[in-house]
Amino acid sequence: MVPAVLATVTIPDAITFVLAAAITLVGAFGVVLMRNPVHSALMLVMTLFGVAVLFVEENAQFLAAVQVIVYAGAIVVLFLFVIMLLGVDRKERILAEVFRGQRPLALGLGLMGLAEVLLLGTSHWTTGARSVAGAMSTATGASGASGTYGGTPSLNTADLGRSIFTTYLLPFEVTSALLVVAIVGAVVLARRPQRRPGAPDAESAAGQTIPSDQPLGSGGTGAMTPPAGAAEHDPASAQPAPGALSAAGRGGGSAR
Amino acid sequence: MSVPASWYLVLAAVLFMIGAVGLLVRRNVLVMFMCVELMLNAANLTFVTYARQLDDIGGQVAVFFVLVVAAAEVVVGLGIIVAIFRRRVGATADDAHILKG
């Protein structure tokens, strides 16, 4: 069976696939096995490049470019940024096991799932197996039939754009709402804990001394802030009185 | 003739299982997120493979949306991680047991 398959596959395609698959798998193992999170992130870049090569091999050129730009260019950079920001780039004791038997159980489950997927994937009923035979022409056939771009090989972007902006227009619009929600959520999560709900009051009080009869919530939330942050804001607003220290930190924090 | 689709599917299954096992095994939260990205990439590879095999651009559109959702998920997830790290020092998922009763 294997020589029959190999007879139909052209040599450059096979070499490309094998190399990209090797890159992908080595990178994936590196993500899991590297002890330093920075190294894991770099191995993730390797995997993403391998998958991008496979996308090109499968005539998904636009997605390959987006994969490199968005994943390797934005998401991994975000990972690295958070790793550096939090300073967690120290090595993890990867052999330390918290729950007894977790590793063998995870490996067993993984191998079992892999065997199951492979068993189902090589049988006929999951794929339907009817359009397997000669369907190697990609979506270029659709637009080639429309006659607009007939003959040119790289129609992937045009096809994808036409499909997104016609058939999948509503999901595309909903995606914008999702992105807005994600941005708002990230801003809310990344903001420092609010000292006081009344924001406009604090802005006017940033330049002057704040009387000590603040509402109760300010004292409660002010105690949650680390003293390093209050001391950091203190010389900026030049309040020498120790009683006004939390007020100065409040003003500086809200004005920032 | 190009490489048969079953090769891609087997590769995607292996990639997915590496990601799943890594998610179960590793305790660093950031590495667990990276393993989730591995699993998403395996799903993307499957989508693109079926898009080629079934001659349907819809699979690639699905990959497009998966990319968008993955980006949003990473943004929110890393925001949560930063918020957790601000309260307590700990790089592993075992340190985030605030919700434990």
- Per residue in A113-153, pLDDT (tens digit) is 888 877 776 665 555 544 433 333 444 444 444 333 444 45
Domain range for B84 is 5-89
Chain B from 35 to 64: CB within 8 A of any A CB: 35, 37-38, 41, 44-45, 48-49, 51-58, 60-61, 63-64
Domain CATH number, residue B59: 1.10.287.3510
Q: What is the structure's pLDDT at A161?
A: 87
Supply φ then ψ for residue B28, to 5 degrees: -75, 130
Chain B residues within 8 A of A28 when measuring between CB atoms:
15, 18-19, 22, 38
Q: What is the pLDDT of residues A48-105, one digit of tens each?
A: 999 999 999 888 889 999 999 988 888 999 999 988 888 766 666 656 666 777 788 8
With an 8 Å Cβ cutoff, is A175 touching chain B? yes
Whether A190 has a pLDDT exceeding 70, the answer reads: yes
CB B95 within 8 A of CB A98: no
- The verdict on a CB contact (< 8 Å) between B78 and A122 is no
- The DSSP letter of residue A57 is H
pLDDT digits (tens, 9 = 90+) for B50-92: 888 888 888 889 999 999 999 999 999 888 888 888 776 666 6
**Residues A31, B22 contacting (CB under 8 angstroms):** yes
pLDDT above 90 covers what percent of chain A? 26
Return the higher-pLDDT residue of A23 and B82.
A23
Average of per-residue pLDDT across B14-23: 92
Judge if A35 and A78 occupy the same domain: yes
* Nearest C-alpha neighbor of A132 from the set A20, A5, A2: A5
Q: Is residue B46 part of a domain?
A: yes
Domain that holds residue A50: 8-92
Domain total for chain A? 3
- Give a yes or no: residue B65 inside a domain: yes
CA distance A105 to A107: 5
Residues A161 and A216 in one domain: no
B29 in any annotated domain: yes
Helix, strand, coil proportions of chain A in percent (round to 5)? 70, 0, 30
pLDDT band at B26 (very low <50, low <70, confident <90, very high): confident
Q: Is the Cβ of B66 closer than 8 Å to some Cβ of chain A?
A: no
Which residues are CB-neighbours of B42 under 8 A, at least 6 positions away? Answer: B12, B13, B15, B16, B19
Residue B98 forms part of a structural domain? no
CA distance A220 to A226: 13
DSSP annotation string for B6-29 = HHHHHHHHHHHHHHHHHHHH--BH
Which residues of A fall within a CB distance of 8 Å from B1?
8-10, 13, 136
What tokens appear for B79 in the block? Answer: 């925001």
Q: Which residues contact A140 (CB under 8 A, 6 or more apart)?
A: A59, A153, A155, A156, A159
Q: Look at residue B96 and tell me if it is in a domain.
A: no
Contacts of A168 in chain B (CB under 8 A): 58, 61, 65
Answer yes or no: is B95 within a domain: no
Q: How far apart are CA B58 and CA A95, in angstroms?
A: 43
More confident residue, A251 or A41: A41
Report ipTM for this prediction.
0.90
Q: Are residues A88 and A12 in the same domain?
A: yes
Residue pair B51/B60 in contact (Cβ under 8 Å)? The answer is: yes
Q: Which of B5, B31, B41 sits opposite A51 (nearest CB)?
A: B41
Residue B95 pLDDT grade (very low, low, confident, very high; cuts 50, 70, 90): low
- A110·B21 Cβ contact <8 A: yes
Tell me the chain A residues in contact with residue B30 when contact means C-beta distances shorter than 8 Å.
Answer: 37, 40-41, 79, 82-83, 88
**One domain for residues A15 and A81:** yes
Domain-ending residue, one of A57, A92, A127: A92
Tell me, yes or no, whether B59 lies in a domain.
Answer: yes
User: What are the start-end ranges of the E strands in A2-48?
Assistant: none
Burial grade of B83 (CB within 10 A; 0-12, 13-18, 19 or more)? middle
Cα–Cα distances (Å) from A113 to A27, A106, B18, in that order, read 21, 10, 11
**Given this model, what pLDDT does residue A214 score?**
43
Contacts of A10 in chain B (CB under 8 A): 1-2
Give buried/exposed letters for A160-186 (b at 16+ CB in 10 A, else e).
Answer: bebbbeeebeeebeebeebeeebeeeb
